[in-house]
Amino acid sequence: MEVILRPDAEAAAKLAAKLVARQLRRKPDSVLGLATGRTMERLYAELVRMHREEGLDFSLCRTFNLDEYIGLPVTDPHSYRHYMNEQLFRRVNIDLRNTHLPDGMATDLGAECERYEELIRSTGGIDLQLLGIGESGHIGFNEPLSSLRSRTRDKSLMPETLAVNSALFGGDVEQVPHRAITMGVGTILDARFILLLATGPRKAVILAKALEGPVTSMVTASALQLHPACRVILDEAAASGLQEKSYYRWIFENEPEWAPYRG
Ligand code: F6R
């Protein structure tokens, strides 16, 4: 795992976007794993800018989102399909038929989860998986005690997660669906590269546990320590609880790979 610190949320999102763009330029038909949430909005805005101003091409790429609420039609403005369409898909030259989210309206949820896993597999697996982290330590919606080998399945969300996510439902926690289909931790760990972006002081406590604490299903993001190619990009506020910040800064200043991104 490599942890990279940037001064603020804008700089962190821009660096993450540059790494996504590099992946797309190296392999235009990349399979991207995507996340939703407020952290990703800056990153997607930057990708849209790169598409418009620098010709970043999405025409061949395929995408799989981590999760979708159960029981929200895709037309619902709170659905993750709606979020993705608005934040990214409609604003770049991606073929919507190449964009996939779990179907939270499926009548047979088990079959839908198997279909999603199979589709990821038959598309060749995920090249680059983007992640945020919840204050419960979740990646995707893998709440505490999710098996670190779990696959795509339906999960109940923690009350804490419902409370945090209610901000996007007008503050009314009753409106937040209590369940979602999510890729499992095992599904996420299958990605060839992983990029976690986290910003803001509210993530500081859980990031210290996830990155520098023991690997435990109580903090599913800690499983990323087992992945051979995982990068974590943080702003200083999110990193404030970490012990090895000076080492992480040293990596960014000294590793040759980061030279093009230092300016
Ligand atoms: C979203 C997802 C979640 C979010 C996490 C952080 O698809 O899978 O794990 O990444 O809840 O959300 P924000 O960025 O809103 O703090």
Model confidence pLDDT, tens digit, residues 196-243:
999 999 999 999 999 999 999 999 999 999 999 999 999 999 999 999
Q: What tens digit of pLDDT does each residue of 150-201 get?
A: 999 999 999 999 999 999 899 999 999 999 999 999 999 999 999 999 999 9
Task: Produce one character per residue of 240-256: b if its CB has 16 or more CB atoms within 10 Å, e if not.
Answer: ebbeeeeebeeebeeee
Our answer on whether the CB atom of 235 is closer than 6 Å to any ligand 1 atom is: no
Kindly tell me if the per-residue pLDDT of 263 is higher than 90: no
Detail the DSSP E strand segments found in the chain: 2-6, 31-34, 62-65, 67-69, 99-100, 128-131, 153-156, 179-182, 193-198, 230-235
Which pair of tokens denotes residue 250?
């040293």
pLDDT score recorded for residue 146: 98
Q: What tens digit of pLDDT does each residue of 139-153 get?
A: 999 999 999 999 999
By alpha-carbon position, which residue is closest to atom 9 of ligand 1?
140
Determine the distance separating the centroid of ligand 1 and the alpha carbon of 106, expressed in angstroms. 22
Name every residue whose Cβ is closer than 8 Å to that of residue 205 and which is 6 or more positions away in sequence: 135, 241
Q: Which ligand 1 atom is nearest residue 65's CA?
A: 7
Give me the sheet containing 128-131, strands edge to edge.
2-6, 230-235, 193-198, 128-131, 31-34, 62-65, 99-100
Query: In Å, how far are 120, 188, 191 from 125, measured between CA atoms?
Result: 5, 10, 7
Which pair of tokens denotes residue 106?
């499926």
pLDDT score recorded for residue 100: 98
By alpha-carbon position, which residue is closest to atom 10 of ligand 1?
132
Q: pLDDT class for 247, splitting at 50, 70, 90?
A: very high
By alpha-carbon position, which residue is closest to atom 8 of ligand 1?
140
pTM, two decimals, is 0.98
What does the alpha-carbon distance between residue 49 and residue 45 come to, in Å, rounded to a whole number? Answer: 6
By alpha-carbon position, which residue is closest to atom 12 of ligand 1?
37
Q: How many helices (H) and strands (E) does the chain have?
A: 8, 10
CATH architecture assignment, domain 2-261: 3-Layer(aba) Sandwich (3.40)
Name every residue whose Cβ is closer than 8 Å to that of residue 229 and which is 6 or more positions away in sequence: 192, 193, 194
Kindly tell me if the per-residue pLDDT of 123 is higher than 80: yes
Determine the distance separating the centroid of ligand 1 and the alpha carbon of 39, expressed in angstroms. 7
Our answer on whether the CB atom of 36 is closer than 6 Å to any ligand 1 atom is: yes
Name every residue whose Cβ is closer than 8 Å to that of residue 32 and which is 6 or more positions away in sequence: 20, 23, 24, 61, 62, 63, 64, 126, 127, 128, 129, 130
By alpha-carbon position, which residue is closest to atom 1 of ligand 1?
36
Probe target for ligand 1 pocket from 72, 126, 141, 183, with the most ligand atoms within 8 Å of CB:
141
pLDDT score recorded for residue 76: 96
Query: In Å, how far are 58, 59, 62 from 96, measured between CA atoms?
Result: 11, 10, 9
Our answer on whether the CB atom of 134 is closer than 6 Å to any ligand 1 atom is: yes
Per-domain boundaries in the chain: 2-261
